[in-house]
Amino acid sequence: MRDALLSIGHHVGTSALEWLDGAAHLFAFPPDVPVLDVNTNRHVKPLAEFALAGSIAVREGATGSRQAQISPVLMDYAWNALGNGSFLHELQLAMPVETYPMEIYAMFTRAGYRHPELEVLLAHLGRLRAAHARELLPNRQLALTNSARLIGLEPHADEAELVARTWLGNASEPWALDFATAYAMTHTVFHLSDWAGQPERLPRRMVDYLRRWLPVWLDVYREAQQWDLVGELLMVDLCLPDPEFPADTWIAYATAQNEDGLMPFGSEAPPEDTEDAFRNYYHPTVVAAVAGTLLVSRGIATLTGATDTRETVGG
């Protein structure tokens, strides 16, 4: 079953990256928007997600030749769209407490891109009292501590304290969950483990909790055909030190994906035209790209760890 799962991961991830590649022009900032008029949710978030998918694919490296081919191209494209980082620098200068510039920049550092001036600015802002009194939910603050770690800056807060204030860190009643809280829960895991890059950073108690309750949420949201969230929950599994790789859910998830790589959000069929589909479907497709990539890399790691016969794995 592992081999079949690897090919599912490969297909889900590669076709999603191909869709993102084809839609790349839609992620770019409109060039005529002045920095102060930039709407972070509208203009910045899509590109941040785009860069996330590319950076994880670059980090995980040889998860397939097609992926290895596309992901650096995507990152180059996004970095260029950001003026090789200078747009992030301008944005951060204009909006000193805005967090997106640092979060997006961190993704590029993951793939080896650097902008020294921006780093000087980020270090300065990090020394302000304002940086230690952010009006943000604890799971969002974990995005910042992870970003700081990736860039090589001092995190603004103690992660253990932040975790203790999250829904997940409190080992909350697993039935006291709604859609928004489920997303918050998944992101607590993503930021703490740097998107499965460091599973060992998850506290033991959290791992035990997730092992027990993740199957429940996967079951419920799969039945409800909430594919965006199912993709995120499958990623949570891949962030654990010893993933379960739930085959049934992976098969259902892969089956929900369009042939062109687009992943539907829920049970409603997406529009056929890429431009029409972009706004509502780029997110589930980014999730599919990351989830598929991680399934392959963590699957291979598990196989090699278990058998230590590297030669047989690629075949």
Element containing residue 208 per DSSP (H, E): helix 204-223
Query: How far apart are CB 143 and another protein at their closest, in Å?
Result: 25
Query: How far apart are CB 254 and another protein at their closest, in Å?
Result: 20
Residue 257, both tokens: 């994906």
For residues 203 and 168, what is the distance between their CA atoms, to the nearest angstrom? 11
In this complex, which beta carbon is closest to another protein, that of residue 220 or of residue 303?
220
Tell me the residue type at 251.
Answer: I
For residues 243 and 299, what is the distance between their CA atoms, to the nearest angstrom? 9
For residues 40 and 52, what is the distance between their CA atoms, to the nearest angstrom? 16
Residue 130, both tokens: 């304002």
Query: How far apart are CB 187 and another protein at their closest, in Å?
Result: 19
In this complex, which beta carbon is closest to another protein, that of residue 114 or of residue 165?
165
Each residue 223-262 as x (binds another protein by CB under 8 A) or -, in order, gives: x---------------------------------------
Query: How far apart are CB 172 and another protein at their closest, in Å?
Result: 7
Query: How far apart are CB 214 and another protein at their closest, in Å?
Result: 10
In this complex, which beta carbon is closest to another protein, that of residue 21 or of residue 244?
244
Indicate the DSSP class of residue 42: I
* Torsional class of 61: left (φ above 0), alpha (ψ -120 to 50), beta (otherwise): left
In this complex, which beta carbon is closest to another protein, that of residue 118 or of residue 202?
202
Q: Quote the longest CA-to-CA distance of the chain.
A: 55
Decide if 108 contacts 55 (C-beta within 8 A).
yes
Asked if 56 interacts with another protein (CB under 8 A), we say: no
In this complex, which beta carbon is closest to another protein, that of residue 62 or of residue 216?
216
Give, rounded to a whole angstrom, the gap between the first and last alpha carbons of the chain.
15
Closest CA to 256 of 229, 296, 295: 229
In this complex, which beta carbon is closest to another protein, that of residue 177 or of residue 291?
177
Decide if 239 contacts 199 (C-beta within 8 A).
yes
In this complex, which beta carbon is closest to another protein, that of residue 132 or of residue 212?
212
Query: How far apart are CB 287 and another protein at their closest, in Å?
Result: 21
- Ranges within 164-223 binding another protein (CB under 8 A): 171-175, 177, 209, 212-213, 215-217, 219-220, 223
Q: How many residues of this chain interact with another protein, rule: CB under 8 A?
A: 15
Residues within the interface to another protein (CB under 8 A)? 171-175, 177, 209, 212-213, 215-217, 219-220, 223
